[in-house]
Amino acid sequence: MVHANFISIVIALFISYLIGSFPTAYFLGKLKGVDIFATGSGNMGATNVARTFGFYWGVAVWLWDSSKGIVAILVARLILPEDIWFASVFAGVMAIIGHNWSIWATLLTGAVRGGKGAATAFGTLLMVAPAPAIVAIPFAACLLAIIITRYMSLGVLILFGTSMPWMYFFSAANSDAIPVWPQIYAALVMLLILYRFRDNIHRLLTGTERRLGDRSPAPMD
């Protein structure tokens, strides 16, 4: 049950959205004299940064974008201390939405911009998963898939395509000890990931998806 007042909830969710909206890749590109939306895949995310500036910059952006999800949840928990699960789940979802449709990037570029939310979603998963194995095993499978195929998108889909159903059914099976919120989180995050990666899924199925290490001179998605 949610005990917090409406204003506190709105403040927590709005701050979570703003935190998630921070356009890490865009600012990195500007520091290097590159418009991240006009290079590579045209996406504001770690994979495009890795293609444009190198692997280690991509890792740095992934870690920073993941931290946005973590920080958003920690702040929401401070604002809504009596509703930790509710705060965690919806702050996490709002942070992902903020990354996907960033108000900062939109104001700076004059067009609705954002990323695909995988790194930010991973940060929220670290905070919301009711059991460590729900994160560790899918993440290991994700890394293995990326190493073998060099398809970052495939790794992301494996990560969330396994962890979200697992979280949903684990929470449902332990409903006496775990509230319904993780199930809601799993459903919402899975929908966001599938929607934002719909073009990648199509390219994977048609064999036209780019691999890590591939470079493309103009935006393709």
Domain spans in the chain, listed from the N-terminal domain onward:
6-206
Q: Look at residues 68, 72, 65 and name the one whose alpha carbon lies nearest to residue 11.
A: 72
pLDDT at 218: 46
Residue 120 and residue 181 in contact, taking contact as beta carbons nearer than 8 Å = no
Report how far residue 111's alpha carbon sits from residue 23's, in angstroms, rounded to the nearest whole number: 13
Across the chain, what does the average pLDDT equal? 93
pLDDT at 40: 83
pLDDT at 215: 60
Tokens of 80: 């809504």
The arithmetic mean of pLDDT across residues 10-31, rounded, is 96
Q: What sign results for the dihedral spanned by CA atoms 3, 14, 86, 80?
A: negative
Indicate the DSSP class of residue 37. Answer: G
Report how far residue 122's alpha carbon sits from residue 128's, in angstroms, rounded to the nearest whole number: 10
Report how far residue 57's alpha carbon sits from residue 81's, in angstroms, rounded to the nearest whole number: 36
The arithmetic mean of pLDDT across residues 195-201, rounded, is 96
Decide if pLDDT at 135 tops 50: yes
Residue 40 and residue 218 in contact, taking contact as beta carbons nearer than 8 Å = no
Report how far residue 95's alpha carbon sits from residue 71's, in angstroms, rounded to the nearest whole number: 9
4 falls in which pLDDT band (50, 70, 90)?
low
> pLDDT tens across 66-110, in order?
999 999 999 999 999 999 999 999 999 999 999 999 999 999 999
Q: Look at residues 84, 81, 102, 132 and name the one whose alpha carbon lies nearest to residue 37.
A: 102
- C-alpha dihedral, 32 to 35 to 40 to 44, nearest 10°: 100
